[in-house]
Chain A
Amino acid sequence: MPRLMADSDPIPTLLAFIVCDTVIQDAATQKRTLVGVFDRVNSPAVPFVLNSVGLYAKMVEGSGAYKLRVRLVNLTKDESPVLEINADANWINADEPMELGFNFAGVPIIEFGTYEFQLFASDVYLGRALLSVSKVQLPPLGQVKG
């Protein structure tokens, strides 16, 4: 059970927080590849689900144990949460950055508007990444020329 961040533990600095389709980590080199970076989704209708959403975060200046929390909130609707996940992290080497990769399946989008992924370390807000969901008007059937 990791120790919660104490007052003496440093607050990590978030260098990058990126939304993409998938985060892949190479088993041999441990390098991460972000596939399909995006910040906008177009859909003709709601509700729908985002079948593949990856989140990548890179932090520096941290050390010790943190309870990491990622929330997706709906900014259009009083910042109500859509999903929330928690993970325990142990930052061993303070001189090295910490990278995180999350992949989600089936993220529910119930209305158009702006959403925000928020990252917290032991309840301390570190930063966010925006995701805009817009309505797209599809052409009527039969009028699409290929």
Chain B
Amino acid sequence: MAANPQYLVNQNIEQPKARIVPPLDRPQAVALQEKIHRIKVHVRTRASRPSKLLLGTINHAKFRVIKAIPINVESRGKTVIASWREVDEFGTGRSTSLACDDLGRTIAELYVSLKADEPRLGPDLANVWNVLRKYVVMRAPHESA
């Protein structure tokens, strides 16, 4: 079985080149008998969940990510953990995306809290606040995406 984009609707970018996982030169499916009772499909996955991810959104309309946030992804049982080590925050979920959503909520709350306490921050939290401001900005009320 193969998936191929038939055409790209857009006119202003190049035609996408399909890359099948697994590659086409490897067995996609094997039918063992002429009279087929059962089809056995072998799909070899090239890679599963990534261990690192660059996050370009924190899924919050009031914030914009201005620099991609480097995230480490690990799983424990059925729980995925997305962590941003530079600010020592993490989020959890049943998938990488849900863990990133959770992390995004944490980042938004942290941003609001540190911004409110900015004049009174100690050196550690001031450092976190400086890092946070390099990656995330709050949108003006009229420009919420």
Q: Spell out A's residues near B (CB within 8 Å).
A: 7, 10-15, 23-25, 30, 32, 47, 49, 60-61, 68, 70, 72, 75, 77-90, 92, 99-108, 110, 116, 118, 121, 123-128
Contact = CB atoms under 8 A, between A and B. Distances in A.
10 contacts: A11-B65, A82-B43, A83-B21, A85-B5, A92-B12, A101-B9, A103-B6, A106-B3, A121-B56, A126-B57
A15 B61 CA distance: 10
Contacts of A75: 94-95
Size bracket of the B interface: 35 or more
Question: By DSSP majority rule, is chain A's interface helix, strand, loop, or mixed?
Answer: strand
Given A81-B45, A102-B9, A12 B56 contact: yes
B8 A102 contact: yes
B53 interface: yes
A61 B64 contact: yes
A128 to B, nearest CB: 5
B68 A11 contact: yes
Interface of B: 1-21, 28, 39, 41, 43, 45-49, 53-57, 59, 64-68, 94-97, 100, 145
Nearest to B48: A78
B4 A87 contact: no
A90 B145 CA distance: 21
A123 B13 CA distance: 17
* Pairs of residues from A and B, 5 with the lowest C-beta to C-beta distance, nearest first: A101-B9, A80-B45, A108-B1, A124-B56, A87-B16
B58 to A, nearest CB: 11
B57 to A, nearest CB: 6
Contacts of A89: 12-14
Nearest to A116: B97
A68 B13 contact: yes
B6 A104 contact: yes
B57 A13 contact: yes
Contacts of B4: 104-106
B8 A14 contact: no
A87 B14 contact: yes
A102 B5 contact: yes
Contact of B1 (A12, A49, A104): A49
Contact of B48 (A72, A80, A106): A80
